[in-house]
Amino acid sequence: MHIKQLKTTATIFLLFIFIGVHAQKSKSKWATYKDKEWAFSMKYPANWEKKLAFRGTQIAVVSPKETPQDDFNENFNLVINPNTDISLKDVVQLTLDQVPQSFEEGKTVSSEILNGKGGEYGEIIFSGMMNDKKLIWYQRILKKGNTLFILTFTMAEEAYGKYRPTASLIFDSFKVSKKN
């Protein structure tokens, strides 16, 4: 994948996060989504709204509002970038470089390359202001063959402690069943 393609992916990701408006974490049932084209599956809270091919994403799931006054819906989205020739380490670094340029008060909270059941992945947490709202983005980036899977969970800063476990459960449920 070329830098231009990666920047396009980053732009799509940034467009998606502009839609947020606050909600709640499901403590009960989970739904499963399976994508045959890209051979992946994932779980998400059953009471969250699923949106396919939404604003440049493969899938997005958006939490419901807790009260009428909520002003941000926590959300998850997946962007898939096929035919990528850039390394995972370089994708993570490019993302880190874009954070302070893309968000008012944008800063990296943590970043590391980890190994899990599905192989090596990048994990990034960053924060910033958007529409006068302090947000936190929790992101995992996986590379399977020549395909990048960029998983992003966006939450209001004050809801981080409440939604981080939900984000981790979604991320941990994500499985790719073949090399892309």
Q: Using the predicted structure, report yes or no on whether residue 9 has a pLDDT greater than 60.
A: no
Q: Using the predicted structure, report yes or no on whether residue 179 has a pLDDT greater than 80.
A: no
Look at residue 26 in the predicted model and tell me its pLDDT: 39
Question: Could you tell me the residue range of the domain that residue 91 belongs to?
Answer: 3-176
Give the β-pairing of 40-45 and 175-176: antiparallel
Contact 45, 26 (CB under 8 A): yes
Residues contacting 147, CB < 8 A, separation 6+ = 38, 80, 81, 82, 83, 84, 180
Number of domains within the chain: 1
Q: Which CATH number covers residue 36?
A: 3.40.1000.10
* pLDDT tens digit sequence for 44-66: 999 999 999 888 889 999 999 98
Report the percent of the chain where pLDDT is more than 70: 83
Mean pLDDT value across the chain: 86
C-alpha dist (Å) from residue 129 to 39, 75, 97, 155: 35, 16, 17, 12
Contact 55, 3 (CB under 8 A): no
* pLDDT tens digit sequence for 68-100: 988 999 999 999 999 889 999 999 999 999 999
Residues contacting 50, CB < 8 A, separation 6+ = 31, 33, 44, 59, 60, 61
* pLDDT tens digit sequence for 136-158: 999 999 999 999 999 999 999 99
